[in-house]
Amino acid sequence: MKIAIMGAMPEEIEPLLSYMNDIKSYELADNRYYEAKYKGIDVVLAYSKIGKVFASLTASVMIQHFKAQKLLFSGVAGAINENLKIGDLIAATKLCQHDLDITAFGHPYGYVPEGKVYIESDKELLFLAKNIAKTKGIDLKEGIIATGDQFIADPKKKEWIKNTFSADALEMEGAAVAVVCDAFDIPFFILRAISDAADMDAGFDFDKFLEKSSKISADFIISMLDEMV
């Protein structure tokens, strides 16, 4: 069994690498990938760079080249559900692309022919995560994560995404990873730590809380690996 672990930025992967052994680095497709061991589990790690295209490319390389059989994503997101606060963990039950729009042809937002508006996360991995959270006394939230190639700062746009997709959090990679995993029939799990809350200016505290939130998310992913061992 080989597990892929992704983030979008170096800050989201660095905490995970600190747990790994026998790390080997590879340059491929204009990115860096790390093969490593964690308590006997084969792991491949990478940060994709920001956005859906890079996320799709990285997930595809992990699955096709490195032969990953499951994929875990660790990172941060912005909240659009007012019940989510900074530092909260949210596991995606399903994901959508809020910036996908061919409504001019009579289709709903987030949909293209032969595609899906929502892609559901793997139920077994979600079940595992919920059990870990219960054991550790962590209040793991669940919800819909909306992905787009935009950093959304406009409160009206946030409200539109929330209402249109019943979304709880915003980020820029998750749904793209979900599309790739769904196409290759690879179980996946997307975990985000909230780095900015719904009632804040979108850019106000991002840099300040990125490192802390990334560490929270990474530690939970490691707990999932422990259970897989």
Which entry of 27, 99, 196, 199 is annotated as an active-site residue? Answer: 196
d(CA 34, CA 28): 11
Alpha-carbon distances, residue 14 vs 104, 152, 192 (angstroms): 43, 26, 15
Question: What is the full DSSP assignment across 53-74?
Answer: HHHHHHHHHHHHTS--SEEEEE
Largest CA distance in the chain: 52
**Active-site hit among 12, 122, 171, 173:** 12
DSSP 22: E
Which one, of 127, 118, 124, lies nearest residue 178 by Cα?
118
Query: Is residue 227 flagged as an active site residue?
Result: no
Asked if 12 is an active-site residue, the reply is: yes
Which of the residues are catalytic? 12, 196
